[in-house]
Amino acid sequence: MHSRTTTTIQDPKNPEHMKTFTFDLAYWSHNGFQVDQDGVFISADPNSIFASQRDVFHDLGRGILDSAWQGYNATLLAYGQTGSGKSYSMIGFGANKGIIPNVCEELFQAVENRERNQECQVTFSMLEIYNEQVRDLLSRTKKPGGLKVREDQQLGFYVEGLKSVPCENYAQIERLMEQGTKIRTTASTNMNVSSSRSHMVITIQFKQVFLDRDLTKQSSINLVDLAGSERQKSSGSEGDRLKEGSRVNLSLTNLGNVISALADAAVGKKVLHIPYRDSVLTKLLQSALGGNSRTALIAAISPADICYEETLSTLRYAERAKKIRNKAVVNTSTLMRESRAENSKLLLRCGNSRITEQPAYSLAEHGLGPRARQLTWAHLRAQARKEWRRLYAAVAQVSGAACTCGGPGGGGRAPRPRRRSLGCCRAGGWTMGERQMVKTFPHLLNVNEDPQLTGVLKYFIQAGSCDAGQSASNAITLQGLGISDKHASFTNLDGQVAVTPHSKCKVVVNGVPITTKTRLQHLDRIILGSNSAYLYIGFPSERGNEDLGRFDYDFFQLERAAAEGVSVDKLGAGNSGDGKADPSVLAVFQDYIKLMPLVAEANQMSEELKKELKMELKVKNLASSDSRGYDLQKEVMVKVTNQRTHEVWMWSKAKFINRKFLMEELYQRFLDGEDRHVAQEDDPFWDPAEAVHLGSAHIWLQSLAYCMELEEQVEFLNCDGLEEALLHVHVTPCSPAGQACGEEHVVTDPWELLGKRMDFQIHIVRCLGAQWLKEDAERGIQMGYRIYDLPHTLYTKPVWKVMNPQIEESVQFTALNASQDFLNYLQTNALIVDLWGLQEGCTALSCSQPGLMVTGEGHILVDTKKTATVMDMGQTTPTQTSELYLKLLKLERETELLRNINRALREENVLLRESLEKTGPSQQAHMPPDTLKISGMSTDREMNQICPQRASYDGEFAKALKVFYQSMNVARGQFLKLRHHKPPEDDRMLRPFVHQQSQMLRDFGDLLESSLWKLKNDVALIVKKKRECLLHSE
């Protein structure tokens, strides 16, 4: 942030790449603050750029209030990814009130100071939009399918049956907001809906009646907290056949379309259609977005590096939105004209039995005069007061009797007898008795993914025992996923509280599933069912000045992950060399934590819908490395197994999230009693059978650089780093005709092969002990690999229903002119062979070899950069490859002959120089002039005469190198095991782990030492023999 109007972001992958955006206002509230005695965040010093909640309200909230008093409609929208501060800005948290409560409070402060002949009427409504369904957050009754959005010629779009409550003061609005938050909390639990995926719209209808002037001013204030913007990404369903199925993303996507169309129209582009009607949200916000309203947009962004893409998307979204120009007008009318308009509204709703839920629309009763209208408004306020008294008298009665009022799903039930020992109280409008209970009794405090919804529900545990579950007969009624009729019992005896699961019900305490009675300690974390989280607050004597804020939703999930053995250290390199955690590993860990509760919920929905699917999180490339041994980029995947057919799918994070939305839709139909049957191709729990990646094996190619044969049995390691199967493979240097090279072809320096033709074969012999085949004998396998610059993966033929399949497939590769890059590749890289699992109904991976260059003998060409360049320049077709190969082969042979002659000349020159030094200057004068022989054949004879045993020494040296490299391959395998061998989470297993680790280190050290010792002895022996040979020749 460079100023109060600009925002600058930096690409973490390219620090020099920076983007700056200019807006009307720009705020920074990530740091630079301190907490005052009231718990309010304030600037730490005068030079700090920190913007407090009051600063934001002063700039934005006051503008909304000024517009409302002038008679303009006003709208404020908060947009951004989940966790970036949208709800904090709009609602606030704790003592740091957001824009909405501050607007309401100052509105009523101004109302109290109004003129004598001016009357102000304020009504409040609160709704939530999720999956294109509207829910009234001020009504306890839930209508299947949600409330309907209707259209009227004069009114525009409106929500039929939405409760709009008259309010006299800020305290009433505050309680209504608490009640709406409570209903939103229980709805998110019962319906399995995350608040981050829903929109919340608060509407305040503000009317000023000037009795002495026969005039009214009407203002509609819309305050909108939008769903997390990351949910609308098109990549959210990438690669999924059901990408268009979910309606969860529809609202934000269409909002973006509307804003783009309006922005284009504002800059003079021709726009034929603005798609207001494509979603519920854009229908209700039509006037706010492109009509009669003064509208502001808050774009909330995160400073985290891993959120760069989302931040950039949000800023671009706001950049488009700021181009829109609305034409707001003052909404004034005479009382007589308004009476006719309101009578029309009443007539429109005459057929609707829910007129009583629309008090805001009945303020003009059939053309009544100002005095009568004032009495009508007073009557409505009196009705509202009566409703307030009835509601809070019921709450006080429940608290005084220390019994439950029906739990989250049981609004409206009669109070239970005093013998019940577990009480439920919801935050909002607490009485003195309720506050006293919080101070006196141990209780459970709900913890929600949305901090705004945490702490809304409290369940008091008094002396005795009680049950919790879905049944209405329980002391506490829960409707969340995985909650049984009788789920668990809580007991409070002798100053100790314990929880006991019923039957096989899921109860987790401090991240660990329990099956027997477990004593609870102060601040224990409890999860009931799939994901209903509660913090246990112990007896007053156990409590201190703890910061309950640290036990948030993420704390629960981190604890569960730790109990399952998942941590940043286990996911890979714990730090990047400077002591800081690797950002990429942190990002994967965050994804894992976020997906854990979603997977638990999906499994529960599968169980209740009898889909027989089991989903579990996996980390792709957890223990995998590339061909050079470097760790691959990790990614969270979801393994899906059909427990009846044993079919397996691997879903990406994006695909799983998309499917989860669709599962929720189907599950909601199940809860509503509707037909949940869908065609197989539309079923989010089904996918066509597909090949599954099981693991990878590394075959190091260093021996090939020395023309040495390699035969190995290597492990296929799965995504967890565990052995999936064994691979038996041969890598053999050979002649163009395919005959294996002997030890006489071994080279001591790989650069001797530079520019020469190299042929070698890769022979896949067999696969042993595949776990995939052991789990289901009807399955099959395939293997695939790529080497160096091959454009496509080569696959073996599929083998079905064989436990230890014999593959016996061999492919010969040819490098016509071995390049420096290719020789470097052989010395430093491994051949990676992937193992694929086939299942009934899936299509085998293609064994064809399209686009590959081949020699005249049919061998596959590698190291083809120069060859490909020649072909491209001549626009050579594939049918001309053989002809081109013959020309290249002829040139290669001629070049090789010239190299042999040149090498022979250099060697002969060295030998002659040595001879001249020995014979001395006097003998050089008598040497005949024709001593030098240019023939390559004669130089070979002279070399052999000087040292006839030289070739045997090279052979012995090659053998020594071969043994050494084989030992190094074994050592490399042991080293990789050591790298991925992580310490256990359980301290009791630490001693055996240390002992095992020490033994592995000793074995590795012994192998390395013995290999080096043997190589040193072999080389010393060869050098000794060579010296003896040279002395003998002299």
Q: How far apart are CA 338 and CA 635, in angstroms?
A: 61
Question: Helix 370-401 crosses helix 432-440 at what angle (to 10 degrees)?
Answer: 30
Pick the range with the lowest mean pLDDT from 624-628, 634-638, 652-656. 624-628
To the nearest 10°, report the CA torsion of 357, 361, 363, 364. -130
More reliable by pLDDT, 993 or 501: 501
The per-residue pLDDT for 675 is: 80
Pick the range with the lowest mean pLDDT from 241-255, 388-402, 521-535, 793-807. 388-402
The per-residue pLDDT for 487 is: 94
pLDDT over 50 at 370, yes or no: no
pLDDT over 90 at 770, yes or no: yes
Pick the range with the lowest mean pLDDT from 56-70, 358-372, 825-839. 358-372
pLDDT over 50 at 368, yes or no: no
Q: How far apart are CA 147 and CA 143, in angstroms?
A: 7
Pick the range with the lowest mean pLDDT from 150-154, 331-335, 556-560, 941-945. 941-945
Question: Helix 170-190 crosses helix 99-112 at what angle (to 10 degrees)?
Answer: 150
* Tens digits of residue pLDDT in 28-81: 988 888 888 888 998 888 888 899 999 999 999 999 999 999 999 999 999 988
The per-residue pLDDT for 44 is: 86
pLDDT over 70 at 82, yes or no: yes
More reliable by pLDDT, 573 or 152: 152
Q: Count CB-CB contacts under 10 A for residue 522.
A: 17
Pick the range with the lowest mean pLDDT from 108-112, 312-316, 864-868, 998-1002. 864-868
Of 180, 120, 166, which is closest to residue 361 (Cα–Cα)? 166
Q: Which residues pair with 512 in a beta bridge?
A: 509
The alpha carbon of 735 is separated from its chain's Cα centroid by a whole number of angstroms, namely: 51
The alpha carbon of 321 is separated from its chain's Cα centroid by a whole number of angstroms, namely: 28
Cβ-contact 891, 866 below 8 angstroms: no
Q: How far apart are CA 596 and CA 576, in angstroms?
A: 26
Cβ-contact 913, 927 below 8 angstroms: no
Classified as helix, coil or strand, 589 is helix
- Report the relative pairing of strands 518-519 and 496-501 from DSSP bridges: antiparallel
Q: How far apart are CA 1007 and CA 969, in angstroms?
A: 11
Return the amino acid letter for 501.
P
Cα-Cα-Cα-Cα dihedral sign, residues 955, 957, 963, 969: negative
Contacts of 702 (CB under 8 A, 6+ apart): 826, 827, 828, 965, 968, 969
The per-residue pLDDT for 908 is: 64
Which ranges of 235-369 does DSSP label H, i.e. alpha helix?
Answer: 250-266, 280-284, 286-290, 308-321, 335-348
Q: How far apart are CA 225 and CA 210, in angstroms?
A: 33
Structure token pair of residue 30? 């990530």
The per-residue pLDDT for 126 is: 94
Q: For residues 843-853, give the mean pLDDT.
A: 81
Q: For residues 928-932, give the mean pLDDT.
A: 43
Phi, psi at 312, each rounded to 5°: -60, -40
The per-residue pLDDT for 846 is: 85
The per-residue pLDDT for 1013 is: 66
Q: How far apart are CA 150 and CA 246, in angstroms?
A: 23
Structure token pair of residue 977? 């095991």
pLDDT over 80 at 941, yes or no: no
Task: Tell me the percentage of the chain whose pLDDT exceeds 90.
Answer: 30
Q: How far apart are CA 2 and CA 328, in angstroms?
A: 32
- Report the relative pairing of strands 532-537 and 525-528 from DSSP bridges: antiparallel
The per-residue pLDDT for 681 is: 87
Q: How far apart are CA 288 and CA 74, in angstroms?
A: 7
pLDDT over 50 at 350, yes or no: no
Q: How far apart are CA 475 and CA 460, in angstroms?
A: 10
How many CA atoms within 13 Å lie on the side-chain side of 581?
15
More reliable by pLDDT, 403 or 44: 44
* Tens digits of residue pLDDT in 261-302: 898 888 888 888 889 988 899 999 988 888 889 999 999 998
Pick the range with the lowest mean pLDDT from 156-170, 831-845, 871-885. 871-885
Q: For residues 469-475, give the mean pLDDT.
A: 85
The per-residue pLDDT for 858 is: 87
Cβ-contact 708, 958 below 8 angstroms: yes
Classified as helix, coil or strand, 690 is coil
How far separated are the first and last CA of the chain, in Å rounded?
Answer: 82
* Tens digits of residue pLDDT in 115-144: 777 888 999 999 999 878 899 998 888 787
Q: Count CB-CB contacts under 10 A for residue 974.
A: 16
pLDDT over 80 at 1021, yes or no: no
> Largest Cα–Cα distance of the chain, in whole Å?
142
Q: How far apart are CA 93 and CA 80, in angstroms?
A: 18
pLDDT over 80 at 668, yes or no: yes
Q: Cβ-count burial of 292 within 10 angstroms (0-12 exposed, 13-18 middle, 19+ buried)?
A: middle
Pick the range with the lowest mean pLDDT from 210-224, 358-372, 440-454, 850-864. 358-372
Which ranges of 38-77 does DSSP label H, i.e. alpha helix?
Answer: 53-56, 62-70
pLDDT band with cut points at 50, 70 and 90 for residue 233: very low
Pick the range with the lowest mean pLDDT from 265-269, 585-589, 637-641, 847-851. 847-851
The per-residue pLDDT for 374 is: 53
Cβ-contact 189, 479 below 8 angstroms: yes
pLDDT over 70 at 366, yes or no: no
Structure token pair of residue 966? 């084989």
The CA R_g of the chain, rounded to the nearest whole Å, is: 39
DSSP label at 995?
A: H
Phi, psi at 182, each rounded to 5°: -65, -45
Pick the range with the lowest mean pLDDT from 617-631, 881-895, 993-1007. 881-895
Of 761, 754, 702, 628, which is closest to residue 961 (Cα–Cα)? 702
Cβ-contact 770, 822 below 8 angstroms: no
DSSP label at 140?
A: S
Q: What angle do CA 919, 920, 925 make, to 5 degrees?
A: 95
The per-residue pLDDT for 669 is: 84
The alpha carbon of 252 is separated from its chain's Cα centroid by a whole number of angstroms, namely: 19
Return the amino acid letter for 100.
I
pLDDT over 60 at 672, yes or no: yes
- Report the relative pairing of strands 74-80 and 294-300 from DSSP bridges: parallel
The per-residue pLDDT for 405 is: 34
* Tens digits of residue pLDDT in 795-828: 999 999 998 999 999 999 999 999 999 999 998 8
Task: Tell me the percentage of the chain whose pLDDT exceeds 70.
Answer: 71
Q: For residues 304-314, give the mean pLDDT.
A: 86
Q: How far apart are CA 204 and CA 1029, in angstroms?
A: 104
* Tens digits of residue pLDDT in 684-705: 999 999 999 999 999 989 889 8
The per-residue pLDDT for 463 is: 87
Cβ-contact 197, 227 below 8 angstroms: yes
Average pLDDT over the chain, rounded to an integer:
78
- Report the relative pairing of strands 199-210 and 215-225 from DSSP bridges: antiparallel
Structure token pair of residue 363? 């303020």
Calculate the alpha carbon distances from 83 to 55, 195, 196, 452, 776 in Å.
21, 11, 9, 11, 44
DSSP label at 59?
A: I
